[in-house]
Amino acid sequence: MTTQRFENKVAAITGATSGIGLDVVKRLVAEGAQVVAIDRDASAGLELQQQFNGQVHFVQCDVTKVDELKVAIETAESHFGGLDILFNNAGSGGSRQTAEEFDLQGWDDTQALLIRAVAAGTAYAVPAMKRRGGGAIINTASIAGLQAGFGPLAYSVGKASVIHYTKVAASQLSVHGIRINAIAPGFIATRIFGTTLGLDRAQAQSLADLAVARNSAPNPMRRAGQPQDIAQMVLFLASDAGSFITGTHITVDGGMTIGPRHSWDTSIPAPMAEAFGLSPEEIQAMSQIKDKLWN
Ligand SMILES: NC(=O)c1ccc[n+]([C@@H]2O[C@H](COP(=O)([O-])OP(=O)(O)OC[C@H]3O[C@@H](n4cnc5c(N)ncnc54)[C@H](O)[C@@H]3O)[C@@H](O)[C@H]2O)c1
């Protein structure tokens, strides 16, 4: 029997109708929670509400519109009587501008989605959490916020901001018994890549399914990352098991960022030879000369 870790708990989740957010909704419901599912996708949201009648209440909302976001988060208290957990998760790839081509609208839209909605959502959740005597907030960051090379510039900066925001906010919210943490996922097979490339919902899901079917695995664990890999960490941080954890980020990436690719993929040569300006063959030849001289 599934344990009911979240009985009598109410959660608000943004980006709730797809990928990581959707998996978190299903797991929280399975463990007894009531969930306000927040997303801009109305048809997927209403379907979700119907599927979990009574346990999920859908609110259509574009999280970049802070007035809509406030109403959506306040629905937790007006509809279910309180708020214990907030998962600030909605996101997309955002503007693809480089450091040379500054695009004001693209920059602002990306930061409004990736960091402003996290800050606003948190602020709107605090009054209801204070009335409950505490709460847990989890923000979705990314390994793109930790290192270069994992996402566009505006996206990466937005996700780095989420990580630092989480620390500073934790220092201010702990007095209310509110914990706030971030998760930095690695590559997770969801619709985000397809939708960022302009595919529709079904096509984007097929692309994600393909990554799972091919077990596309650019990580030392050698398997495709899936929404449940992140969702399980979200539930851990939201549960009493995470009660001593605040103001940090947890990387969940199958080890993708433990070191450069050659550190875990033996098909990639180590850059040692390159550092000396030598080819791998010259390095090989050198060891043969040494063997002749000293044996
Ligand atoms: N999939 C990955 O590899 C990966 C890696 C690191 C971080 N992330 C982050 O994880 C989070 C969830 O993404 P996912 O991979 O599950 O993708 P997804 O595309 O499956 O889900 C994203 C959800 O956010 C919603 N959304 C997007 N913009 C919105 C807006 N303005 N208002 C309301 N809802 C909005 C979408 O409708 C969708 O339901 C995002 O913040 C993303 O940046 C994903």
Looking at the CA of residue 63, tell me the nearest atom of ligand 1.
32
Helix, strand, coil percent values for the chain (each to nearest 5): 50, 15, 35
Could you tell me the distance, in angstroms and rounded to a whole number, from the CA of residue 91 to the centre of ligand 1?
Answer: 4
> What's the whole-model pTM score?
0.95
pLDDT, position 290: 72
Could you tell me the distance, in angstroms and rounded to a whole number, from the CA of residue 89 to the centre of ligand 1?
Answer: 6
- Is 183 strand, coil or helix? strand
Residue 265 token pair: 């993929």
Domains of the chain: which residue ranges? 10-258, 263-295
Q: Which residues have a catalytic role annotated?
A: 155
Tell me, using a 6 A CB cutoff, whether residue 162 lines ligand 1: no
Amino acid occupying residue 28: L
pLDDT, position 62: 98
Mutate to test the pocket of ligand 1, among 39, 192, 196 (most ligand atoms within 8 A of CB): 192
Tell me, using a 6 A CB cutoff, whether residue 205 lines ligand 1: no
Tell me, using a 6 A CB cutoff, whether residue 142 lines ligand 1: yes
**Environment class of 215 (CB within 10 Å of its CB; exposed 0-12, middle 13-18, buried 19+):** exposed
Could you tell me the distance, in angstroms and rounded to a whole number, from the CA of residue 279 to the centre of ligand 1?
Answer: 43
pLDDT, position 282: 82
Tell me, using a 6 A CB cutoff, whether residue 68 lines ligand 1: no
pLDDT, position 217: 83
Say yes or no to pLDDT of 295 above 70.
Answer: no
Average pLDDT over residues 23-39: 98
pLDDT, position 292: 73
Share of the chain above pLDDT 70, in %: 98
Instruction: Assign 36 a pLDDT band (cuts: 50, 70, 90).
Output: very high
**What's domain 10-258's superfamily in CATH?**
NAD(P)-binding Rossmann-like Domain (3.40.50.720)
Tell me, using a 6 A CB cutoff, whether residue 192 lines ligand 1: yes
Considering just the CA atoms, what is the radius of gyration of the chain in Å? 22
Average pLDDT over residues 76-83: 98
Task: Say if residues 255 and 50 touch (Cβ distance below 8 Å).
Answer: no
Residue-wise pLDDT tens digits, 222-273: 999 999 999 999 999 999 999 999 999 999 999 999 999 999 998 888 887 7
- The single-letter DSSP state of residue 202 is H
Tell me, using a 6 A CB cutoff, whether residue 139 lines ligand 1: no
Tell me, using a 6 A CB cutoff, whether residue 158 lines ligand 1: no
Average pLDDT over residues 93-99: 96
Average pLDDT over residues 109-134: 98
**Protein residue closest via CA to atom 19 of ligand 1:** 192
Say yes or no to pLDDT of 1 above 60.
Answer: no
User: What is the average pLDDT value for the chain, to the nearest integer?
Assistant: 95
Instruction: Assign 3 a pLDDT band (cuts: 50, 70, 90).
Output: low
Could you tell me the distance, in angstroms and rounded to a whole number, from the CA of residue 120 to the centre of ligand 1?
Answer: 17
Could you tell me the distance, in angstroms and rounded to a whole number, from the CA of residue 246 to the centre of ligand 1?
Answer: 23
- Is 246 strand, coil or helix? coil
Looking at the CA of residue 16, tell me the nearest atom of ligand 1.
39
Average pLDDT over residues 65-83: 98
